[in-house]
Structure 1
Amino acid sequence: MTDNPLPLRSDRRGTETKRTKRGVARFIRDLLVIFVVALLISFLIKTFLIRSFYIPSGSMETTLLVNDRIIVNQLEPDLIPITRGDVVVFRDPGGWLLPQVPLEQNPVVAAADWVMSAVGLSAPDSNDHLIKRVIGLPGDHVTCCNVLGQMSVNDVPIAEPYVSLPAGETSVSKDDFDIVVPEGSLWVMGDNRYNSKDSRYNTETPGRGFVPVDNVVGRAMVISWPMARWTWLDDYPEVFQGIPTETR
């Protein structure tokens, strides 16, 4: 007669322990894979589709307030053309911003900020960018101001509901100007017209106040934070309706 001894209880426990360890290892491996894939997808989205910026100044009040966070559509202008009225984020064309003092952070905060910026949740370079509203496209003739205090684009006066003016002021610009936007460039202005160092006040810079289209990072499309201010940003197409395209 052949004996078939049952496995010892300690052997069964050892087998169960090994299975548990393998299960935990697989779970950790799967979590790491998911994290890496999510990080990669977020990085690709941030690089090619959208990214976050915060508002460092009051030049776009009251459309945008200081420390608002915005989501920027980076498909514009590469795949989607810029239109008048768009609120765009752009790199300094040269001479618009004062030299920035490097921000000192401890290694832990710096590492966390780097990871968040890689996935588009932080914008450590916001102070190196500007945000304004597009008024003039390449070839446009932009003048200000008429007897009603309005600006005109290609000889068509426009009424701008988004502009913030000091009490008692009716002119949309403190200073008059008369310009033609060169090819490949934009004329941009802040909504807070009496507190915005925009195209009007950068005419002594190398770009003479015009912003190269190539410097545009994208169009601001939504206020994402704080939640109480969540809203889509309007480009006010009705303001610029009927403006002919200049061929100058």
Structure 2
Amino acid sequence: MTIDQEKKQSNSVSSQKNNALKAVWENVQILVIAVILAVIIRTFIAEPRYIPSESMYPTLETGDRLVVEKVSYYFHPPKPGDIIVFEPPMQLQLQGYKKEQAFIKRIVARGGDTVAVKDGNLYVNNQPLNEDYILESPHYNLQSVEVPNGYLFVMGDNRNNSNDSHVWGFLPEKNVIGHAIFRFFPWQRIGSILSTII
């Protein structure tokens, strides 16, 4: 092998190494960008959630997987009828629930509204609500309470099997993580989760 051939072979090996390193570096950059985008999307735009209990049955079932969007509440406050995911308030954290142990419930009232449960009906501002989405009428009564400003009153659609505001009180709006809008699993029930106008 001549000196020129050796140089060419050496240059070829060096070029292959450089190309391999360049490809690895490009892949690392793509991976870093993907991770950053995933964190940004999950923090500020949307995230997947899993339903661990029957508290929202029949609207949501145990094992359902949802998309929870976070953008709309930058522009308007949560409203009655919305199904929301939220961090447990201090009342629940004192009972042993962890801050990251998210809950999902339906908003039935917000600051300034009055809420009562009597004779199997939910009353908001002294008006009975027609709730065709709940499993059954509540088997309990709740004396009329006024929701403080900056707070929400939330309930599960499975009214008699739900650890919600009728048990532990008002939910601070700041605890809201996002609005459940879409079920992506199981496949046979895939579709949007429409808020009910209350």
TM-score by length of 1: 0.71
1:184 aligns with 2:180: no
**Which residues of 2 match residues 190-201 of structure 1 at below 5 A?**
190-201=156-167
What CA distance in whole angstroms lies between the structure 2 residues aligned with 1:15 and 1:62?
69
5+ residue gaps, structure 1, are 1-5, 102-124, 166-171, 203-208, 241-248
Superposition map of 1:94-109 within 5 A:
94-96=90-92, 98-99=95-96
Residue 11 of structure 1 and its aligned partner are, at CA, apart by: 2.8
Work out which of the residue numbers 36, 39, 51 in structure 2 matches 1:40: 36
Question: Which residues in structure 2 correspond to 1:96-175 (within 5 Å)?
Answer: 96=92, 98-99=95-96, 125=100, 128-145=101-118, 149-165=120-136, 172-175=137-140
Match of 1:60 in 2: 56
- Aligned residues: percent identity? 30
How many Å apart are 1:100 and its aligned residue? 5.3
Whichever residue aligns with residue 67 of structure 1, its letter is: G
For the 8 Å contact 2:108–2:155, the answer to whether it is kept is yes
Check the 8 A contact 1:223/1:231 in 2, yes or no.
yes
Check 1:56–1:10 CA distance in 2 against 1; reply closer, same or farther (3 A cut).
same
* Rounded Cα–Cα distance in structure 2 between residues aligned with 1:7 and 1:80: 75
Count of aligned positions = 195
CA contact (8 A) 2:106 2:155 kept: yes
Task: Tell me which residue corresponds to 2:76.
Answer: 80
How far is the alpha carbon of 1:14 from its aligned partner? 2.1
Partners of 2:26 and 2:45 lie apart in 1 by 27
Structure with the largest fraction of helix = 2
Rg comparison, structure with higher value: 1
What is the distance in 2 between the residues matched to 1:12 and 1:226? Answer: 59
Aligned mates of 2:96, 2:141 — CA distance in 1? 29
TM-score (norm. length: structure 2): 0.88
Post-superposition Cα deviations, 1:109-147, rounded to whole Å, max 9, x if no partner, equal xxxxxxxxxxxxxxxx4xx1211000011111222235x
Decide whether the 8 Å contact of 2:85 with 2:178 is kept in 1.
yes
The alignment yields a C-alpha RMSD, in angstroms, of 2.2
The residue aligned with 2:171 is 211
Q: Secondary structure at the residue paired with 1:228?
A: helix
